[in-house]
């Protein structure tokens, strides 16, 4: 089957224009209609997902990926609940950001409006299809979705259901379209549809980010790669620091806001590193320590020497880098050099150092005495998230509904001309 990407983009842009003219209530109703359609089509969706999972298992997909691909009854139900919750979120569009009357009487304001057409490229996880669709519809945007080849059947069923929901509420079903082909040439074509697409969000690894930046002509928001740090200052409450490091590393190691490296102030290194080893090694964590860290542990606690690139790794596993530093400045220098600008935390009782860390660490989320695991749209109260941005333009950190909007300047006059 051949996909006419230009036509797909043109229809998305027309749908975005049409959605931008609807009211917020109409869009909330459309989101509820989508949830109802998904509920009505549950059997078809689950069967399509079963086929995807069976094919993936046959192809030898690993257990954790298979788990991300899998949609069972209860996961679909909670996905539908989440969709209904999006209908209740406050809609940022239409808000007046600021307004003033110029000396000549021109009434000038900035109004928040939908971005237009959002292209999202992702893998596995069919829940992303529904999340993005709901957030885009709520804010009056159109979405072009390109999931992984392993979810083709699931996404076909989901998008078909979403489109039925849109139609049933009087919305243009082209507001949510999927690229229904595993052929990568369509990804490259999507990345150059700058006439119709306003933003590209690649949810994947560094090579996908590079493809989008280097082959594309559309503004891209990248993120989701977190090399996250905790700096344990000399004044840290060590019991609390151990709790936080354990939580940040162990609670869910496979996600981007999990901890990758702990930086330990030299003054407390021998105390803290030995307690850390006693706490984490029994939980299955491998501690990759620099030479000073090995010394601090007395070389007898089962730490392993850190390899040359270990401090540049997003582990996504029960591994943790351990490095001894001379103090706050050295910790911030390490984060500057090795971090990915995602989430970093300082564990300290020193409020001056806390403030210096907040100001000096150039990351999307900076914490004091808290786990890095909080960097999440749901935890932050955004209701849901489109992605977690680690770039600085447009949106940073968890991207909720506001990140799907832009503004326009509106000038209402009575014949004003420029002097």
The interface with its own copies within residues 277-306 (CB under 8 A) comprises none
Helices within 70-202 (DSSP H only): 73-88, 127-138, 152-168, 185-190
Residue 407 as a binder of its own copies (CB under 8 A): the answer is yes
- Which parts of 177-196 interact with its own copies (CB under 8 A)? 194
Residue from 84, 180, 189, 237 touching its own copies (CB under 8 A): that is 237
- Asked whether the beta carbons of 274 and 240 are under 8 A apart, the reply is no
**Selected binder of its own copies within 248, 263, 324, 387 (CB under 8 A):** 248
Stretch that binds its own copies, among 24-32, 48-56, 81-89, 374-382 (CB under 8 A): 374-382
Distance of alpha carbon 304 from alpha carbon 105, whole angstroms: 71
Task: Output 2 or 414, the one with its CB closest to its own copies.
Answer: 414
Residue 375 sits in the site that holds its own copies (CB under 8 A): yes
Pick one of 132, 244, 256, 331: the residue that binds its own copies (CB under 8 A).
Answer: 244
408 touches its own copies by CB under 8 A: yes
Name the residue among 129, 136, 128 with its Cα closest to residue 19. 136
When binding is defined by CB under 8 A, the residue of 120, 137, 171, 221 that contacts its own copies is 221
d(CA 231, CA 348) in angstroms, rounded, equals: 8
Dump the DSSP string for 281-350.
GGGTPEEEE-HHHHHHTTT-S--EEPPTTGGG----SSEEEEEEESSHHHHHHHHHHH--SSEEEEE-S-
Minimum CB separation of residue 412 from its own copies in Å reads 5
Q: Under the criterion CB under 8 A, does residue 417 sit at the interface with its own copies? A: yes
Minimum distance, C-beta of residue 203 to its own copies, in the bound complex (Å) = 17
329 binds its own copies (CB under 8 A): no
290 or 344: whose CB is closer to its own copies? 344
Q: Is 20 in the site for its own copies (CB under 8 A)?
A: yes
Q: Are 288 and 315 in contact (CB under 8 A)?
A: no
Nearer to its own copies, 182 or 378 (CB): 378
Out of 373, 383, 390, 401, which residue is the one contacting its own copies (CB under 8 A)? 373
Question: In this structure, are residues 212 and 223 in contact, taking their beta carbons and an 8 Å threshold?
Answer: no
- Smallest CA-to-CA distance from 138 within 312, 294, 22, 292 is with 22
Q: Does 387 bind its own copies (CB under 8 A)?
A: no
> 111-135 in b/e burial notation, b at 16+ Cβ within 10 A?
bbbbbbbbbbbbbbbbbbbbbbbbb
Q: State the minimum distance, in angstroms, from the CB of residue 410 to its own copies.
A: 5
Q: Are 203 and 122 in contact (CB under 8 A)?
A: yes
Q: Positive or negative, the Cα torsion across 321, 324, 329, 334? A: negative
Quote the tokens at residue 46: 């689950």
Q: Which is nearer to its own copies, 43 or 393 (CB)?
A: 393
Among 179, 64, 81, 76, CA closest to 121: 179
| List 199, 269, 285, 296, residue binding its own copies (CB under 8 A) | 199
Distance (Å, whole) CA 162 – CA 168: 10
- Least spacing, CB of residue 156 vs its own copies, in Å: 30
Structure tokens at 364: 């999307």
Which of 21, 43, 58, 60 forms a contact with its own copies (CB under 8 A)? 21
| CB 208 to its own copies: min, Å | 13
What is residue 112's three-state secondary structure? strand
Q: How many residues bind its own copies (CB under 8 A)?
A: 71
Q: Are 399 and 388 in contact, with CB atoms under 8 Å apart?
A: yes
Q: Which parts of 109-128 interact with its own copies (CB under 8 A)?
A: 111, 113, 115-116
Cβ distance to its own copies smaller for residue 1 or 393: 393
Please list every residue from 352 through 371 that binds its own copies, using CB under 8 A.
354, 358-360, 362-371
Taking CB under 8 A as the rule, does residue 309 contact its own copies? no
- The residue among 154 and 405 lying less far from its own copies, judged by its C-beta, is 405
């Amino acid at each position: 089957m051949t996909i006419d990407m230009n036509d797909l983009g043109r229809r998305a842009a027309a749908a975005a224009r049409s959605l931008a003219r609807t009211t917020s209530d109409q869009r909330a109703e459309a989101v509820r209609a989508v949830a109802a359609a998904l509920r009505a089509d549950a059997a078809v969706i689950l069967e399509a997902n079963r086929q995807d999972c069976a094919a993936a298992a046959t192809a030898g997909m690993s257990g954790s990926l298979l788990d991300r691909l899998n949609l069972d009854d209860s996961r679909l139900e909670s996905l539908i609940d989440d969709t209904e919750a999006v209908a209740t979120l406050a809609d940022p569009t239409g808000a007046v950001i600021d307004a003033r009357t110029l000396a000549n009487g021109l009434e000038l304001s900035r109004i928040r409006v939908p971005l237009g057409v959002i292209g999202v490229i992702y893998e596995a996880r069919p829940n992303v299809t529904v999340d993005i669709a709901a957030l885009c519809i709520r804010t009056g945007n159109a979405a072009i979705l390109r999931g992984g080849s392993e979810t083709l059947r699931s996404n076909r069923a989901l998008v078909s259901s979403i489109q039925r929901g849109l139609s049933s509420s009087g919305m243009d079903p082209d507001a949510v379209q999927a690229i229904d082909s595993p052929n990568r040439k369509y990804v490259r074509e999507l990345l150059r549809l700058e006439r119709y697409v306003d933003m590209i969000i690649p949810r994947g690894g560094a090579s996908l980010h590079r493809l989008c930046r280097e082959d594309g002509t559309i503004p891209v928001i990248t993120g989701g790669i977190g090399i996250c740090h905790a700096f344990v200052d000399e004044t840290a409450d060590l019991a609390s620091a151990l709790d936080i490091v354990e939580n940040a590393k162990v609670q869910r190691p496979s996600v981007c806001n999990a901890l990758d490296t702990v930086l330990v102030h030299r003054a407390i290194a021998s105390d803290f590193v030995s307690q850390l080893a006693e706490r984490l090694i029994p939980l299955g964590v491998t501690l990759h320590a620099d030479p000073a860290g090995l010394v601090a542990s007395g070389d007898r606690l089962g730490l392993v020497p850190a390899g040359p690139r270990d401090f540049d790794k997003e582990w996504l596993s029960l591994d943790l880098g351990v490095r001894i530093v001379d103090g706050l400045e050295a910790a911030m220098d390490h984060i500057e050099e090795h971090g990915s600008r995602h989430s970093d935390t300082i564990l300290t009782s020193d409020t001056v150092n806390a403030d210096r860390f907040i100001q000096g660490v150039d990351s999307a989320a900076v914490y004091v005495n808290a786990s890095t695991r909080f960097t999440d749209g749901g935890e932050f109260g955004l209701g849901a998230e489109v992605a977690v941005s680690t770039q600085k333009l447009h949106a940073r950190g968890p991207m909720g509904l506001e990140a799907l909007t832009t503004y326009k300047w509106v000038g209402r006059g009575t014949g004003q001309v420029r002097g």
